[in-house]
Amino acid sequence: MPSPAPHGLAPQAQELARSVATTALRPDADFREIAATPRAAHPFARQLAALDLGTNNCRLLVARPVGSGFRVVDAFSRIVRLGEGLAATGALSDAAMTRTLDALRICAEKIAARKVAAGRYVATEACRRAANCEAFLARVQEEVGLEIEIISSREEARLVVTGCAPLLHPRIPYAIVFDIGGGSTEIVWLRLARGPDGRRSPHILGALSLPFGVVTLTDRFGGAEVSPATYRLMIAEAAAALIPFERNHRILRHVRAGRVQMLGSSGTVTTLAGIHLALPRYIRALVDGSTLTFEQIAAVSAHLAGLDFAGRAANPCIGHERADLVLSGCAVLDAICATWPVGRLRVADRGVREGILFDLMQT
């Protein structure tokens, strides 16, 4: 039997579906709405590609520029767990590299079939840390034909902000944007400043890359069976790692003044949003741009922590492949919410790839 969702959530999903269908385009409209307007796209517009090879996932987007946004024409995502076992060995395993090569071959085929005019293909924390990653990426170029660059944590954070910027509320002056990844967690503190054109755009005030994510925490603490004590240990480790960043930037004073918004870009927050909405399967259009209160986050996290592996795997927004990872992500999210009690979180099913596409549209 699928695990029960918190009570009374299905009507919210229905209401959100109606709002998505009827909302007109706004200056801060999200990509879902822009992408749903195909008549604005020229049939011969160039196609762009963005690939994000993370510690857990390999993701590709192929899109065509549409006005100030883009329309997705092809996409691919597969859990490859490239960083599995990396914390213990310092290197990518043969099995992980084989899984990743298989996924990258599919990406290369899609890129070729779409006759992509320009693209950028990046790798993040697993490749930043692995002693054998340069050799692996050379093999990728030789066997698959894709040239993948390893980007810094700072560049990763910038791309996440660029990709998520349309979801930021223009009248709230500060924002915490975070991405709980597989091998690292990126935290960005930014200010929305008004430019010469009168529009507000994000300016990064500080960025932090925590050296752990859902894969690395699961490798260390386990994920199939997580005791309450183990869950508290993960929260405590994440919370302790946030203290210096808070001390340096004094974010909490702005939170208390009601001048901060929070946006999460990661599988953890999108999964929790899907569960909160009691979706029968994960539906990006209902999750991306939705809002979770901290009370709702706490309720879903507690619900998941009370389930065994089979119970988590039975949830259609989690599945067997991610059932051992989700509690690690919840622990990091709990630490972020406790450190900066903003009270509500905007959910973004977007990030590095969308940031890359926006960059490519400017060239």
What b/e sequence results for 157-182 when a residue is b if at least 16 CB atoms lie within 10 Å of its CB, and e otherwise?
bbbbbbbbbbbbeeeebbbbbbbbbb
Cα–Cα distance, 363 to 359 (Å, whole number): 7
Q: Which residues contact 360 (CB under 8 A, 6 or more apart)?
A: 48, 50, 118, 119, 120
Pairwise CA distance, residues 295 & 125, whole Å: 31
Please say whether the beta carbons of 47 and 117 come within 8 A. Answer: yes
Backbone φ and ψ of 150, nearest 5°: -90, 120
In tens digits, the chain (363 residues) has pLDDT values of 333 444 344 444 444 443 333 222 222 333 333 333 333 444 456 999 999 999 999 999 999 999 888 999 999 999 999 999 998 899 999 999 999 999 999 999 999 999 999 999 999 999 999 999 999 999 999 999 999 999 999 999 999 999 999 999 999 999 999 999 999 999 999 999 887 777 888 999 999 999 999 999 999 999 899 999 999 999 999 999 999 999 999 999 999 999 999 999 989 999 999 999 999 999 999 999 999 999 999 999 999 999 999 999 999 999 999 999 999 999 999 999 999 999 999 999 999 999 999 999 987
Q: Confirm if 265 and 176 have CB atoms less than 8 A apart.
A: no
User: 228-249 and 214-221 are packed helices; what angle lies between their axes, rounded to 10 degrees?
Assistant: 140
DSSP string computed for 240-266: HHHHHHHHHH-HHHHHHTT-EEEEEES
